[in-house]
């Protein structure tokens, strides 16, 4: 199924934020912050993997992703869609179906036996590949998959994250250096706006969340986490 409707960007962002709240994929806790794999402490945590368990929501999100990619990148720009192990794999399947394209997936590392493959599926030499992830903070994991595709002979000029943290200035610099245009639907600011509008949390918690979004590493350092991050 090839998607041909193009909703307003702000509508898509707001609706995705509301969907994440509806499925309880968003967590705010300034009193007991979450420790991320980077060592950073955060009062916010998001679980985009839950989207796959809600058919109406995941279908709408994939409509949004297809609209975003076709409007911002083009209609005939890609030969296949790639998902990274593990969270990106189901979304690559959904988006490939929307765009009428083949799908491949990329392992974090070669599997170590058999063909020792890192890329599964058929990717012709020089194929123009769209890489998708459920979310990205600063692009670190996405570029591991992008680098693997490029090493294998594919071309990657575009990536799409359903959710983009959009709180690290270094993120845009990383994508610029890597010559990849990042597309996304919603950010933490959209999620916070819904929380404020619907009064989902008290003002103190919302203020702490906003302080984190404004200066995440400083907030982390004040709360027992790392204050420097290698992006």
Tell me the HSE value of 22 on the side-chain side, using a 13 A CA sphere. Answer: 12
Q: What pLDDT is recorded for position 116?
A: 57
Does pTM top 0.85 for this prediction? Answer: yes
DSSP 33: P
**Alpha-carbon gap, residue 83 to 142, rounded angstroms:** 9
pLDDT attached to residue 186 = 98
Does residue 140 have a known ligand-binding role?
yes
Give the pLDDT score at 115: 62
Q: What is the pLDDT of residue 9?
A: 96
Q: Strand, coil or helix: what is 3?
A: coil
Q: 184 with 175: CB under 8 angstroms?
A: no
**Is residue 134 annotated as involved in ligand binding?**
yes
Q: CA 83 to CA 149: how far, in whole Å?
A: 11
What lies within 8 Å, CB to CB, of 32 at 6+ separation is: none
Is residue 138 marked as binding? Answer: yes
Tokens standing for residue 125: 């030499």
pLDDT at res. 111: 66
Bridge-based pairing of strands 80-84 and 128-136 is parallel
152 is in an annotated binding site: no
Q: Does domain 9-221 have CATH number 3.40.50.1980?
A: no
135 is in an annotated binding site: yes
108 is in an annotated binding site: yes
- Residue 226 φ/ψ, nearest 5 degrees: -70, 150
Domain ranges of the chain: 9-221
- pLDDT tens track of the chain, all 231 residues? 676 789 999 999 999 999 999 999 999 998 899 988 778 899 999 999 999 999 999 999 999 999 999 999 999 999 999 999 999 999 999 999 999 999 999 998 886 554 657 999 999 999 999 999 999 988 888 999 999 999 999 999 999 999 999 998 888 889 999 999 999 999 999 999 999 999 999 999 999 999 999 999 999 999 999 888 665
Task: Determine if residue 133 is labeled as part of a ligand binding site.
Answer: yes
Give all strands (DSSP E) within the chain, no chain letters: 26-28, 34-35, 41-42, 44-46, 80-84, 103-106, 119-120, 128-136, 155-164, 181-187
Q: How many helices and strands (H and E) does the chain possess?
A: 8, 10
pLDDT at residue 185, as a whole number: 98
pLDDT at 139: 81
Element (H, E) at 41: strand 41-42
- Residue 10 known to bind ligand: no
């Amino acid at each position: 199924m090839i998607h041909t409707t193009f909703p307003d960007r702000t509508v898509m962002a707001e609706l995705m934020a509301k969907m994440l709240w509806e499925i309880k994929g968003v967590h705010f806790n300034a009193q007991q912050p979450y420790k991320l794999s980077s060592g950073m402490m955060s009062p916010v945590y998001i679980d985009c993997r839950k989207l796959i368990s809600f058919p109406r929501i995941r279908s709408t999100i994939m409509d949004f992703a297809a609209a975003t990619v076709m409007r911002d990148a083009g209609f005939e720009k890609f030969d296949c869609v790639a998902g990274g192990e593990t969270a990106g794999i189901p979304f690559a399947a959904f988006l490939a179906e929307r765009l009428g394209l083949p799908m491949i997936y990329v392992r974090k590392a070669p599997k170590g036996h058999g063909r020792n493959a890192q890329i599964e599926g058929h990717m012709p030499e020089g194929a123009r590949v769209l890489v998708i992830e459920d979310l990205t903070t600063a692009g670190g994991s996405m570029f591991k998959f992008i680098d693997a595709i490029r090493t294998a002979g594919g071309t990657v000029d575009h990536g799409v994250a359903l959710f983009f943290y959009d709180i690290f200035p270094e993120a845009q610099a990383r994508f610029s250096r890597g010559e990849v245009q990042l597309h996304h639907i919603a950010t933490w600011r959209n999620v916070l706006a819904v929380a404020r509008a619907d009064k989902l949390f008290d003002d103190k918690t919302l203020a702490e969340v906003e302080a984190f979004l404004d200066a995440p590493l400083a907030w982390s350092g004040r709360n027992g986490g790392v204050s420097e991050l290698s992006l």
